Amino acid sequence: NAGVTQTPKFQVLKTGQSMTLQCAQDMNHNSMYWYRQDPGMGLRLIYYSASEGTTDKGEVPNGYNVSRLNKREFSLRLESAAPSQTSVYFCASSETGDYGYTFGSGTRLTVV
């Protein structure tokens, strides 16, 4: 089925560890996004990529880095995880000019 695939679905990290969240879409969309979802705060944009080869900071970029590896893949890296990064992370994609986003099923990350 066409869509956005995120891996892993669950992850527990110790403070200071690093990890990369993977995201891939097979809809040939130009734009991709990383959001985090926290109770009472909705979804907040971490980074986005308007097109292959470009990335920009969103609302809450501190502590994260991203790579737009190709048109399909957009990864999110935590270099030194902190408990404040415990959250559910969602990747999304959209076509240029189409304001509807397609979301992945999320990665639930716990940092202890």
Partner 1 sequence: AQSVAQPEDQVNVAEGNPLTVKCTYSVSGNPYLFWYVQYPNRGLQFLLKYITGDNLVKGSYGFEAEFNKSQTSFHLKKPSALVSDSALYFCAVRDWNTGFQKLVFGTGTRLLVSP
Residues of this chain that interact with partner 1 (CB under 8 A) are: 4, 31, 33, 35, 40-45, 48, 50, 56, 58, 90, 92, 94, 96-97, 99-106
Q: How far is the CB of 112 from partner 1 (least distance, A)?
A: 21
Q: Which amino acid would we find at residue 42?
A: G
Which phi and psi angles does 53 have, rounded to 5°?
Answer: 95, -5
The torsion defined by the Cα of 27, 41, 108 and 104, in degrees rounded to 10, comes to: -10
Name the token pair of 109. Answer: 């990350």
Whichever of 67 and 101 has its CB closer to partner 1, that residue is: 101
Q: How far is the CB of 44 from partner 1 (least distance, A)?
A: 8
Q: How far is the CB of 19 from partner 1 (least distance, A)?
A: 20
Go through the chain and tell me how many residues it has: 112
Whichever of 40 and 53 has its CB closer to partner 1, that residue is: 40
Instruction: Classify the C-alpha dihedral 43-54-8-13 as positive or negative.
Output: negative
Whichever of 17 and 22 has its CB closer to partner 1, that residue is: 22
